[in-house]
Chain A
Amino acid sequence: MSAPQDLEKIIIQVRRDIVRMVHKVNSGHPGGSLGCTEFFVALYFELMDLKSSFSMDGIGEDLFFLSNGHISPVYYSVLARKGFFPIEELNTFRLLNSRLQGHPTTHEGLPGVRIASGSLGQGMSVAVGAALAKKLNKDEHLIYSLHGDGELQEGQNWEAIMYAGSKKVDNLIATIDRNGQQIDGATEDVLSLGDVGAKFKAFDWDVIELKEGNDISAVIKTLKEAKSRTGKGKPVCVIMHTVMGNGVDFMMHTHAWHGKAPNDEQLQTALDQNPETLGDY
C-alpha cells in the first residue's frame, strides 16, 4: 500500500496535468476535474484490483465507469500516470486525430476507457449492466462509477437506481460528486436535488456520506468502507462532498471554472500552487 505522501505527489502532479491540458487547447473542464482528483487517485492507486494489461471485457479485475464525461482531464491524467498509455499523449488532449477526445470515447481505442460518456445520465445504467455481467461470469470483482450531482437531474439515473436497488445489484459502488455546482450555477438554485442520500436509501441502496471528499486519507477510508459493504444485498452509494476547483485557490467554491480554461497568467498561478512532483509531460 502506498503511503499517503506518495499519493499526495500524484495528486499534485495530476492537478498540474489538468490545468496544463485545459490551458493548452483553451477548452475543457478543470473545475470538476480538480474536485475529483483525490477520488481518482485513491481509486486507481489504492482501491481497484487491476490487471496489468487492458482488455475491454475486464474479466477478473475491478472496473470503473465515468458517467460525467466532461471531467475527462482528471480521468486521462490518472490513466496515463497509472500507465494505461504514454504520459506524453496528454499533450494531444482535444486536438485533431487524438485518442483523448473532449469527452471519453472507446471509438479511438484509448486503453482504460470502456464506454463513451458526455451526454449525461447514461453511466449508471452501463455500470449496472457491467455489474450484472460480473455476476453472470461469477467474477467477484467490483464495479465503481462516478456521477456528477447535477447529472442526477437526468431521469435515466433514477431508472438505473431503481433497478439496482430492486434487483440487489450489490457488486456496484456508485459515487456522487456532490460539489453543489453545475454550469448555470449552484445545483440548489438550478434544480434542487434535495436529500440525495435519502433518495438513494428510498430505492434500497446502502448510502455512505463522505464529508471530506478532498482529503485523500478520508477518501481511501470511505471507499474501503464502501467495499466492505458490497455483497450484502444492496448496491452502495458514496456521496462525496468535494470542492469544485480544489487545489487552485481562484477556481474553488465557484461554478465559474466548470468549463473554462485559464489564461497564461492564471495557469502560472495554478502551477505555482502545485509545484511539479513527478515530472510534466
Chain B
Amino acid sequence: MKKYIDQGKKDTRSGFGAGMTELGRTNPKVVSLCADLVGSLKIEQFIEENPERFFQVGIAEANMMGIAAGLTIGGFIPFTGTFANFSTGRVYDQIRQSIAYSGKNVKICASHAGLTLGEDGATHQILEDIGLMKMLPGMTVINGCDYNQTKAATLAIADHQGPVYLRFGRPKVPNFTDPDQVFEIGKAVKLTEGTDVTIIATGHLVWEALQAAESLESEGISAEVINIHTIKPLDEEAVLTSIQKTGCVVTAEEHNFLGGLGESIARTLTTHYPAPQEFVATQDTFGESGTAEQLMEKYGLDNKAVKKAVYEVLKRKA
C-alpha cells in the first residue's frame, strides 16, 4: 500500500488564506468579503496587498451574501468568508435566492466547519452544512482534506463559473498531499489500492481513513481509500468502480450522517449497485465544547471509528 507522509500539521483555513493571497496576485477579478473574522479566515495578506478588493461587512452575514451577489453583476468573483455555521444555516435563504437561484458566481468560503472548531461548542459548530448546500440546485460543494488541497481548491474555484461552497476547518491536521497537485472539481482521488473494502472520506477524515487503512493492512485487510474533495457533483464513476471491486464501503465525514457525503454515496449505490455501507459520521446530534481530539474520539470520527466500521461492513458483505 502506498504510504502517505505527514509533512507537518497545518490548518486547512491557512490553505484557504494562501490560496487567496495567490489569487490576489493573479486574478484581478477576485474580491474578498468578510464578516468580522479576518484573522480566523487567514486573509490578512490578501487584504494587505489588495485593500481596494476587500470588503469588511461587519457582523452582518445576510448583507454579505447579498453584496457578494451584487458584485458579480459588475463581473467580479466574490469570495465570502465567515464560520461555516454563519456561512450556511444563518443565511440559507439569501444564498438560495440571491446566489443559487440567481446563478451568481459567488464562492462561499466557510471556516471552522464541523465539530473540530472545538471549545466554542455547538452554537459555533455545524454538522449540517454539506447537506444544506448540496440540496441547492447548481451549487458545487467542496471539502478539502488538508492544507495543500484546500489551497489548490481555492485556486480552482476561481476559474469555475457558478456558485461554490468551499468548506474547511480550524485545527491543524496532517498535511500530506502534493503541494503542486492539480485540483479537478468533481474528480475523486484514489489514494490507495485495495480489494476488501472501499473507504470513502472527505475533509479531515481522509487522513484518519489512511491511518485506518494502514492499520487494517497489518491485520490482512486490504482497503481502498478514496478522497472525495468534491461532494457535489459526485464522481459516481470512481465510487462505483471501486465498490464493484471491493463489494462494500465505509464513508467517513465530519458531518451528520443525515444529508452528508454518506447519503450521496448511498443514493448512488441504491440507484446503480446496492452494497453494504457503514457511516462514520455524527449520529443526528449537536456537538459540545472540548478539544478537537476529544470531540473526534467522543463522536466517533477518528481512525479507530473507521476501523470499527470496516469490521462491521465486512460482516455484512455477501
Contact = CB atoms under 8 A, between A and B. Distances in A.
A159 B63 contact: yes
A132 B71 contact: yes
A129 B101 contact: no
Interface string B20-53: 0000000000010000000000000000000011
Contact of B97 (A65, A118, A130, A131): A118
B93 A119 contact: yes
A127 B67 CA distance: 7
Interface string B258-297: 0000000000000000000000000000000000000000
A56 B101 CA distance: 15
A125 B66 contact: yes
Interface stretch (B54-62, B118-126, B211-219): B54-62
Contact residue range for chain B? 20 to 34
Contacts of A121: 62
A162 interface: yes
Contacts of B60: 159, 162-163
Given A105-B101, A115-B102, A130-B73, A136 B62 contact: no
Majority SS at the chain B contact face: helix
A107 B102 contact: yes
A159 B52 CA distance: 21
Specify which of B62, B69, B74 lies most central, judged by the most chain A CB atoms within 10 Å of its CB. B74
Contacts of B78: 129
B98 interface: yes
A134 B70 CA distance: 10
B65 interface: yes
A122 B73 contact: no
Interface in B67-121: 67-76, 78, 93-94, 96-98, 101-104
B74 A137 contact: yes
A124 B66 contact: yes
Given A122-B66, A136-B52, A156 B73 contact: no
Nearest to A105: B101
Nearest to B93: A119
A130 B103 contact: no
Interface in B113-155: none
Interface in A96-122: 105-107, 114-119, 121-122
Contacts of A160: 63, 66-67
Specify which of B62, B73, B96 lies most central, judged by the most chain A CB atoms within 10 Å of its CB. B73
Contact of B102 (A106, A125, A162): A106
A122 B67 contact: no
Given A105-B101, A106-B102, A127-B70, 12 more contacts: A58-B73, A58-B74, A116-B102, A125-B65, A125-B67, A125-B69, A128-B63, A130-B74, A133-B72, A133-B73, A136-B74, A159-B58
7 contacts: A105-B101, A119-B96, A122-B94, A125-B63, A126-B73, A129-B72, A130-B71
In the complex, the 10 A-B pairs of residues with the closest C-beta atoms, listed nearest first: A129-B70, A125-B66, A133-B74, A159-B63, A129-B67, A159-B60, A130-B70, A126-B70, A156-B62, A129-B71
